[in-house]
Amino acid sequence: MDGALLLLDVDGVLNPVRRSSPRFRRFECVVEGEGFRLLLDPRHGAKLIALRRETGVALTWATTWGERANQEIGPKIGLPPLPVVPIDGDPPRPHGVNLKTWHVAEYVRGRPFVWLDDDLGPADLEYLHGHPGVGDFLVVAVDPRDGLGDAHLDAARRWLTTPRRQISW
């Protein structure tokens, strides 16, 4: 889908809270003097790049890791540097709406997107549906205990390859 984005979260998606499979490897990193333990599947990068190749989607970080995702996460799973949704500040937003949701709504500028995240709920979907400048989108909920799996990528692939009708008012 031309111009579409695939928004990637890190914690809970690429970095699950538990080692749900032997495919995940342990990594350590230090960010601003604080140590982090990561569980990452090195095959995720190749799978995401294949999805990009098949659908033309632009892989984009949508994580509070920000640019650090390009330094600490991407290289460990085989991803090149990706654009980053800037998530800075704490803008006013309705109760129950995730901090990232406001920033994503401002970033997409009408482009269709698939968002892989583990921490979005009904308030986030309502906010996105009602926000000017947000067009077609699919949120793929990832269980933070298990992280990203093939079924999540298959859902994204199906949505990205399904023709959309343009609605004119």
Nearby residues of 63 by Cβ (< 8 Å), 6 or more positions away: 8, 9, 10, 11, 69, 85, 87, 100
Q: Which two tokens stand for residue 160?
A: 């990205």
The pLDDT assigned to 71 comes to 95
Q: Whole-angstrom Cα distance, residue 47 to residue 53? A: 10
The pLDDT assigned to 88 comes to 87
pLDDT in tens, 61-74: 999 999 999 999 99
Residue 165 clears pLDDT 60, i.e. is over it: no
Residue 166 clears pLDDT 70, i.e. is over it: no
- Write down the pTM of the prediction: 0.92
The CATH T-level fold of domain 5-161 is Rossmann fold (3.40.50)
List Cα–Cα distances, 81 to 28, 89, 106, in angstroms: 20, 23, 21
Single-letter amino acid, residue 149? G
Q: Say what angle helices 99-108 and 122-130 make with each other, to 10 degrees.
A: 30
**Where do the structural domains in the chain lie, given as residue ranges?**
5-161
For the segment 101-115, the average pLDDT, to the nearest whole number, is: 95
